[in-house]
Structures are given as structure tokens and as C-alpha cells.
Amino acid sequence: MIQVDNLSKHFGTKVAVDHISLTVNKGEVLGFLGPNGAGKSTTMRMIAGFIPPTSGDAKVCGHSITDEPALAKMKIGYLPESAPLYQDMTVIGFLKFCASIRGLSGSDRKAAVDRAIETCFLNNVAEQSIDTLSKGYRHRTCLAQALLHDPEVLILDEPTDGLDPNQKYEVRELIKRLGETKAILFSTHILEEVEAACTRAVIVDRGRIVIDGTPEELLKKSKTGSLTDLFREVTSNDTDAAA
């Protein structure tokens, strides 16, 4: 469903992503881990067609993001980091607007919006203005727009950011459930989410993949049996990166 081949991105002399290759198949939830500045969001933006790669390519459901960007994007539900919202819209108004952009209308649009609201637990705030929502509900509204067209592929940049523990649990369970029929790539800083929601995980550092495996395989690679310790073993801290 997602096939990434030697994807790279340069910003001037800065190499943000350095020849990353990975695959995510239907029924897989791939956790994308790494320290700040490791290239996670840049990689996801390229796969989603939000920014062009410097070199390499990615295919979504067989469609190249460079040669067939429109067809690839039709297959993707994308939740970007710090996703923007129209603050003066209600939740349901925003979702209807996004559904229209996706080409949905009439009863199909209503069904898609109703389904997204229920899936993302937004029933209690559907008629509220977005500027009155908590950070957690705003983030769930952004997640709902990614699900409107029932995409085959989900690319989620920190989908539990700003949520309280109960909300985090609900979203993790939702990701696991969606991952049974979709290909999901999501980034996180919360290592416990690897065991809670992922079938596989990769750790990136300085634009390169340094670890790839199932949660069980990652734990075996740690000298202490701890994902946190493994993360520290294979990644650079800010001081190292600045040296």
C-alpha cells in the first residue's frame, strides 16, 4: 500500500531525509519514531504529496507521488502536525466543508461526516465553534477530516498529541481497529504507543532508518529489554547533533 524507495529531502545544504526506504502493507500499523529533527514529519509530508522529494519516490496503492500525485492523494487520509483549522467554523461545518473538497455531496457527504464524528468521539461537540474546543478535541477534529473519504492509507503525524490519558487510549484503539483493513503510518514521541498500537516500528535518526522491526523484535534488540533504552542507544541527542 505504501512503498518508499530511497526517498531524500535536502533544504539547501541540510539533509533532512537521507535515502529512506520502507513499506507498509494493508493490515499494518507502522510506528515512525525518532528524536526531534530526525526527519519524521518531512518524510511523511513527502509521502502525502505535501512537499516534493529531492530524490527517490514513494508509491501509494501503486501510484507514484511524483508521477501521479492526484491519484496517490485520493488514497490517503493525512493528519499533519499542528493541523490548521478554521476557528470560526463549527466542527460539523468544518467536516462538511472538507467532505465537499473531497468530492462528496448529498447523502454521501452526510453519511461520511456522521461516520467521522462518531468514529472520533465528537458527538458532544459537533455543533460547537472550533475556537471553543480544547486542544484534544481540535486534534480529534483534524483526525476526523482525514477519515472522511474512507481512505486505504492513513498518514498520521502525532495523532495523540495533546490528548489526555483516556483520549490517548481511545485513539490508540481506533488506530489498531483501522489498521486491520488499512495501511497506517503514524509518528509518535510516546514509546509506549509502539506496544499499544503498532504491528511494526522504525526508528529514524538524522534522516536515516536505524531500527526496523516488530515491537517484540525491538525489545529483543535492547540490552535492557526497554524501548526507551533502545531509543537512546540508537539515536543522537541534541548535543550530539549540534557537535
Answer yes or no: is 68 within a domain.
yes
How many distinct structural domains can be found in the chain?
Answer: 2
Return the bridge partners of 17, or none.
Answer: 9
How would residue 225 be classed by pLDDT, with cut points 50, 70 and 90? confident
Answer yes or no: is 243 within a domain.
no
Return the bridge partners of 212, or none.
Answer: 202
Answer yes or no: is 138 within a domain.
yes
3-state secondary structure the chain: CEEEEEEEEEECCEEEEEEEEEEECCCCEEEEECCCCCCHHHHHHHHCCCCCCCEEEEEECCEECCCCHHHHHHCEEEECCCCCCCCCCEHHHHHHHHHHHCCCCHHHHHHHHHHHHHHCCCHHHCCCEHHHCCHHHHHHHHHHHHHCCCCCEEEEECCCCCCCHHHHHHHHHHHHHHCCCCEEEEECCCCHHHHHHCCEEEEEECCEEEEEECHHHHHHHCCCCCHHHHHHHHCCCHHHHHC
Answer yes or no: is 169 within a domain.
no
- Report how far residue 33's alpha carbon sits from residue 39's, in angstroms, rounded to the nearest whole number: 10
Q: Which range of residues forms the domain containing residue 209?
A: 1-75+152-162+177-235
Least confident of 48-57, 59-68, 134-143: 134-143
> What is the per-residue pLDDT across 112-130, written as a single tens digit (0 to 9) for each?
999 999 999 899 999 999 9
Q: Residue 22 is which amino acid?
A: L
> What is the per-residue pLDDT across 131-140, written as a single tens digit (0 to 9) for each?
999 888 888 8
Answer yes or no: is 112 within a domain.
yes
pLDDT of residue 238: 58
pLDDT of 207 above 90: yes
Contact 140, 128 (CB under 8 A): no
> What is the per-residue pLDDT across 1-24, written as a single tens digit (0 to 9) for each?
999 999 999 999 999 999 999 999
pLDDT of residue 87: 92
